[in-house]
C-alpha cells in the first residue's frame, strides 16, 4: 500500500537533522507539505524544505521557551491555514552527573523538561482546539525506550521527560478521540543520529549494540516509515499506543 499525504500539512519539530530530518523527507515523498522546524540551524531546515517541495517551509523556534513554542504553531497555522498532523520529535539529552553542583543540575533538568515535555505539551494544547474545529487531527510524539526501561543516572531528566511524553500521549488519546483526534507515540532505541553519537562516544559502541537482537543499529528512516504510516490515518484504532522501534533491545 502506498501512502498518499497529498494536501496534508504536517509540522515536524526538530527536523533539521537526525530522526526529524528523515521523518520530514519520508512525509514529503508521500506528498505532504512539511513545516520543517529547527532550533538554530535555519539554513539546513531551509535546504530540507526546498528538497522536499510540496510547499514545504522552514520555521525556526527555540522550544526551550514557552512563548517561542506557541508562536511556532501560530506561524505554521498562519502560513498554511490549517494543520493536519503534529509530530513532536525535537528533543535534547544532557548528561548530568549527580555530583555536579545543585544549581547546575537543576538548570539542566529544567532545560531538558522544557524542550522534551513542556514544548510538546504546549504544541498539543494549541493544536487540539484547531483539530476539534476541523473534526480531525493526528498527534505523534517521539518518545524513547528510556520511558519504559529507564536510563543511566546521568540521563534521569531525559528518561523522565520521555516517560511524561508517553503519559501525555495516552491522556490526549483518551480525552479527545470522540472529537476526531488520535494520538500515538513512537519509542526508538539507539538510533544512528548525532544526538545518540554523543552517548555512544561516552559509553562505547559496544554499549549501544550489545543488547540488540539485530546486527545493526536502527537508522532514522526506520522510524520515519512508521511515523508516515501513523500520519496516514490508517491506524486510528491504535490511538494511545506507543510503538517500540529499538531493534529488539527492549521488548514489552
Listed residue (19, 43, 23) closest to 34, CA to CA: 23
The answer to the question of residue 170 being in a domain is yes
Which residues constitute the domain of residue 26? 9-241
The answer to the question of residue 89 being in a domain is yes
The answer to the question of residue 51 being in a domain is yes
Residues 24, 52 contacting (CB under 8 angstroms): yes
Is the pLDDT at 216 greater than 90, yes or no? no
**197 contacts: CB under 8 Å, gap ≥ 6:** none
Q: In CATH, what number is assigned to the domain containing residue 223?
A: 3.40.50.720
The answer to the question of residue 141 being in a domain is yes
Residue 217 DSSP one-character state: P
Question: How much is the average pLDDT of 144-155?
Answer: 95
CA distance 106 to 165: 20
Is the pLDDT at 149 greater than 90, yes or no? yes
Question: How much is the average pLDDT of 202-230?
Answer: 88
Listed residue (42, 122, 45, 132) closest to 83, CA to CA: 132
Total domain count, the chain: 1
**56 Cα distance to chain centroid:** 18
CA distance 15 to 34: 10
CA distance 132 to 129: 5
Task: Please state the length of the chain.
Answer: 252
The answer to the question of residue 111 being in a domain is yes
**202 contacts: CB under 8 Å, gap ≥ 6:** 95
pLDDT tier for residue 202 given thresholds of 50, 70 and 90: confident
Catalytic residues: 158
Residues 168, 120 contacting (CB under 8 angstroms): yes
The answer to the question of residue 82 being in a domain is yes
Question: How much is the average pLDDT of 68-96?
Answer: 97
The answer to the question of residue 52 being in a domain is yes
The answer to the question of residue 45 being in a domain is yes
Question: How much is the average pLDDT of 182-211?
Answer: 83
Residues 20, 90 contacting (CB under 8 angstroms): yes
Q: What does the angle CA 165 – CA 189 – CA 117 come to, to the nearest 5 degrees?
A: 20
0.85 exceeded by the pTM? yes
Check residue 194 and give its pLDDT: 79
Amino acid at each position: 500500500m502506498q501512502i498518499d499525504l497529498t494536501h496534508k500539512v504536517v509540522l515536524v519539530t526538530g527536523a533539521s537533522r537526525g530522526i526529524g530530518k528523515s521523518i520530514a523527507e519520508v512525509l514529503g515523498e508521500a506528498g505532504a507539505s512539511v513545516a520543517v522546524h529547527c532550533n538554530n540551524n535555519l539554513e539546513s531546515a531551509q535546504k530540507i524544505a526546498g528538497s522536499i517541495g510540496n510547499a514545504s517551509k522552514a520555521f525556526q523556534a527555540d522550544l526551550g521557551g514557552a512563548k517561542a513554542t506557541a508562536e511556532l504553531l501560530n506561524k505554521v497555522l498562519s502560513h498554511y491555514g490549517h494543520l493536519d498532523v503534529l509530530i513532536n520529535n525535537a528533543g535534547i539529552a544532557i548528561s548530568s552527573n549527580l555530583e555536579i553542583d545543585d544549581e547546575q543540575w537543576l538548570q539542566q533538568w529544567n532545560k531538558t523538561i522544557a524542550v522534551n515535555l513542556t514544548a510538546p505539551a504546549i504544541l498539543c494544547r494549541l493544536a487540539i482546539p484547531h483539530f476539534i474545529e476541523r473534526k480531525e487531527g493526528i498527534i505523534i510524539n517521539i518518545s524513547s525506550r528510556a520511558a519504559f526501561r529507564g536510563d543511566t543516572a546521568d540521563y534521569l531528566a531525559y528518561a523522565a521527560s520521555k516517560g511524561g511524553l508517553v503519559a501525555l500521549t495516552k491522556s490526549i488519546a483518551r480525552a479527545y478521540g470522540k472529537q476526531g483526534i488520535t494520538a500515538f507515540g513512537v519509542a526508538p532505541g539507539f538510533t544512528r543520529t548525532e544526538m545518540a553519537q554523543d552517548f555512544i562516544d561516552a559509553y562505547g559502541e559496544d554499549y549501544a549494540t550489545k543488547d540488540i537482537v539485530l546486527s545493526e543499529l536502527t537508522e532514522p528512516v526506520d522510524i520515519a516509515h512508521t511515523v508516515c504510516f501513523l500520519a496516514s490515518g490508517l491506524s486510528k484504532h491504535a490511538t494511545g499506543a506507543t510503538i517500540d522501534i529499538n531493534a529488539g533491545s527492549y521488548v514489552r
